[in-house]
Amino acid sequence: MKISFNWLSEYIDLDNFKSNSNELGKKLTDVGLEVEGIEDQKKAWENVVVAKIITKKAHPNADRLSLCQVKVGAETLQIVCGAKNHKEGDWVVAALPGANLPGDFLIKKSKLRGELSCGMLCSEEELGLNKTMDGILILQKEDLKKEESLQEGKNWSDYKNLSDSIFDINITPNRTDCLSHFGIARELSCVLDKTLKKDFPAKTISDKFSAFPIKIEKSNLNLGYSGCVVKNVKIKESPKWLKQRLASVGVKSINNVVDVTNFVMWELGQPMHAFDLQKVNKEINIRKAKKGESLVTLDNKNIEFKGGELIIANESSPIALAGIIGGLDSGVNKDTQDIFIESAYFSPSDIRKTAKVFGIQTDSSDRFSKGSDSSILLQALNRACELIKDLAQAEVEKDIFYHKPPQINNEKINITQKFLEDKLGYSVNMKDFDKWIKALGCQLKVSSSESREVVAPIFRKDLCQPVDLLEEYARLNGYDKIPEVLPSFTGGPGKHNDYYLQNTRLANLCKNAGLLQAINYHFTNSIFQKEFLEFDLLHKTKDLKKYSTYMGGDPVSVLNPLSGDLNVMRLSLLPGLFQNLIHNYNHNQKLGNLFELGTVFNKQENNYNEQNFLSLISWGNKETLWDKSKSPLVFELKGRVESLLKSLNISFKWKVIKDLNLCPDFLHPKRSLALQIRGKLVGYLGDLHPMLLQKHKIRLNVSLAEFNTDLFNLAPTICDSNILTGKYPSVTRDLSVLCLKTLLSEDINQLIKKVAGKDCISCRVFDIYEPKDKEKLSITFRLVVQNSEKTYSEEDLQLLQANIFKNLSDKLGVEIPSS
Partner 1 sequence: MNISDLSKQIEVIYEESLKVFKAASSSKNLYDLKVEFLGKKGKLSLLMGLMSKLPNQDKPKFGSLINVKKKLLEEAYTEYKTKLDLIDLNKKLDQEYLDMSLPGKEIETGALHPIQKVSENIVNIFSRLGFSVRTGNLIEKDYYNFEALNIPKDHPSRDMQDTFYIDDNHVLRTHTSPIQIHTLETEKAPLRIIGLGSVFRSDSDISHSPNFYQIEGLLVEKKVSMANLKGTVSFFVKEFFGKELKTRFRPSFFPFTEPSAEVDCQCSSCMGSGCSLCGQTGWIEIGGCGLVNPKVLKLSNVNKDTENNETDWQAYAFGFGIERMAILKYGIKSIRFFNQNDIRFLSQFK
Residue 554 or 815 having the CB closest to partner 1: 554
Asked if 552 interacts with partner 1 (CB under 8 A), we say no
Q: 272: left (phi > 0), else alpha (psi -120 to 50), else beta? A: beta
Residue 223 or 569 having the CB closest to partner 1: 569
The size of the interface with partner 1 (CB under 8 A), counted in residues, is 94
d(CA 427, CA 644): 57
Length in residues, the chain: 819
Residue 562 or 723 having the CB closest to partner 1: 562
Asked if 491 interacts with partner 1 (CB under 8 A), we say yes
Residue 333 · residue 312 · CB < 8 Å: no
Residue 348 or 441 having the CB closest to partner 1: 348
Binders of partner 1 in range 391-420 (CB under 8 A): 419
Closest CA to 572 of 531, 511, 614, 618: 614
Q: Which stretch binds partner 1 (CB under 8 A): 183-191, 298-306, 555-563, 646-654?
A: 555-563
Binders of partner 1 in range 593-622 (CB under 8 A): 593-594, 599, 601, 608, 610, 622
Q: CA angle 816-817-819, nearest 5°?
A: 135
CB of 187 to partner 1, least distance (A): 12
CB of 174 to partner 1, least distance (A): 5
Order of strands across the sheet that contains 165-170: 2-4, 165-170, 34-40
Q: 332: left (phi > 0), else alpha (psi -120 to 50), else beta? A: beta
Asked if 682 interacts with partner 1 (CB under 8 A), we say no
Asked if 500 interacts with partner 1 (CB under 8 A), we say yes
Asked if 359 interacts with partner 1 (CB under 8 A), we say no
Q: 546: left (phi > 0), else alpha (psi -120 to 50), else beta? A: alpha
Query: Which listed residue (227, 269, 371, 405) binds partner 1 by CB under 8 A?
Result: 371
Q: Residues 764-783 vs partner 1: string with x where CB under 8 A? A: --------------------
CB of 714 to partner 1, least distance (A): 17
Residue 405 · residue 377 · CB < 8 Å: yes
CB of 596 to partner 1, least distance (A): 8
Beta bridge partners of 168: 2, 37
Q: Residues 502-531 vs partner 1: string with x where CB under 8 A? A: --x--xx-xxxxxxxxxxxxxx--------
Residue 801 · residue 819 · CB < 8 Å: no
Query: Which listed residue (592, 645, 647, 747) binds partner 1 by CB under 8 A?
Result: 592
CB of 818 to partner 1, least distance (A): 39
Q: In sequence order, what E strands does 328-377 have?
A: 339-345
Binders of partner 1 in range 620-639 (CB under 8 A): 622, 624-627
Beta bridge partners of 3: 167
CB of 737 to partner 1, least distance (A): 33
528-566 per-residue burial string, b: 16 or more CB within 10 A, e: under 16: bbbbbbbbeeeeeeeebebbbebbebbbbeeeeeeeeee
Asked if 34 interacts with partner 1 (CB under 8 A), we say yes
CB of 171 to partner 1, least distance (A): 9
Residue 182 or 578 having the CB closest to partner 1: 578
Asked if 561 interacts with partner 1 (CB under 8 A), we say yes
Query: Which listed residue (105, 241, 499, 635) binds partner 1 by CB under 8 A?
Result: 499
Residue 523 or 781 having the CB closest to partner 1: 523
Q: Which CA distances in Å does 406 have to 176, 265, 321? A: 18, 21, 21
Q: In sequence order, what E strands does 30-170 have?
A: 34-40, 48-59, 62-71, 76-81, 91-95, 100-101, 105-106, 110-112, 115-117, 120-121, 165-170
Query: Which listed residue (538, 559, 718, 723) binds partner 1 by CB under 8 A?
Result: 559
Asked if 715 interacts with partner 1 (CB under 8 A), we say no
Neighbour-count burial of 131, counting CB atoms closer than 10 A to its CB (0-12 exposed, 13-18 middle, 19+ buried): exposed
Phi, psi of 168 (to 5 degrees): -100, 105
Residue 38 or 743 having the CB closest to partner 1: 38
Query: Which listed residue (31, 139, 662, 797) binds partner 1 by CB under 8 A?
Result: 31
Most distant CA atoms of the chain, gap in Å: 126
Residue 684 · residue 705 · CB < 8 Å: yes
* Cα Rg of the chain (Å, integer): 41
Segment holding 272, helix H or strand E: strand 272-276
d(CA 347, CA 324): 12
Q: Which stretch binds partner 1 (CB under 8 A): 41-49, 267-275, 579-587, 803-811?
A: 579-587
Query: Which listed residue (61, 204, 222, 349) binds partner 1 by CB under 8 A?
Result: 349
Residue 153 or 552 having the CB closest to partner 1: 552
Asked if 174 interacts with partner 1 (CB under 8 A), we say yes
Binders of partner 1 in range 237-276 (CB under 8 A): none
Asked if 556 interacts with partner 1 (CB under 8 A), we say yes
Binders of partner 1 in range 459-488 (CB under 8 A): 465-468, 470-471, 474-475, 479-480, 482-488
- Within 8 A by CB and 6+ apart from 464, the residues are 410, 411, 413, 456
Residue 490 or 721 having the CB closest to partner 1: 490
Residue 276 or 462 having the CB closest to partner 1: 462
Q: Which stretch binds partner 1 (CB under 8 A): 106-114, 135-143, 575-583, 646-654?
A: 575-583
Residue 336 · residue 276 · CB < 8 Å: yes
d(CA 48, CA 107): 10
CB of 30 to partner 1, least distance (A): 7
- Within 8 A by CB and 6+ apart from 109, the residues are 97, 116, 117, 118, 119
Q: Which stretch binds partner 1 (CB under 8 A): 55-63, 81-89, 304-312, 344-352?
A: 344-352
CB of 635 to partner 1, least distance (A): 16
CB of 423 to partner 1, least distance (A): 6
Query: Which listed residue (302, 409, 427, 560) binds partner 1 by CB under 8 A?
Result: 560
Residue 130 or 624 having the CB closest to partner 1: 624
Q: Amino acid identity of 58?
A: A
d(CA 730, CA 758): 13
Q: Which CA distances in Å does 315 have to 221, 273, 468? A: 20, 18, 46
Asked if 785 interacts with partner 1 (CB under 8 A), we say no
Phi, psi of 651 (to 5 degrees): -95, 130
Asked if 308 interacts with partner 1 (CB under 8 A), we say no
Asked if 425 interacts with partner 1 (CB under 8 A), we say yes
Q: 749: left (phi > 0), else alpha (psi -120 to 50), else beta? A: alpha
Residue 275 or 601 having the CB closest to partner 1: 601
Query: Which listed residue (9, 29, 76, 163) binds partner 1 by CB under 8 A?
Result: 29
Residue 538 or 625 having the CB closest to partner 1: 625
Residue 149 or 560 having the CB closest to partner 1: 560
Residue 322 or 515 having the CB closest to partner 1: 515
Binders of partner 1 in range 132-161 (CB under 8 A): none
CB of 580 to partner 1, least distance (A): 4
**Axis-axis angle for helices 466-477, 417-424 (nearest 10):** 60
Q: Any long-range contacts for 801-806 (C-beta under 8 Å, 24+ apart)?
A: 801/733, 801/735, 803/755, 804/735, 804/751, 804/752, 804/755, 804/756, 805/735, 805/737
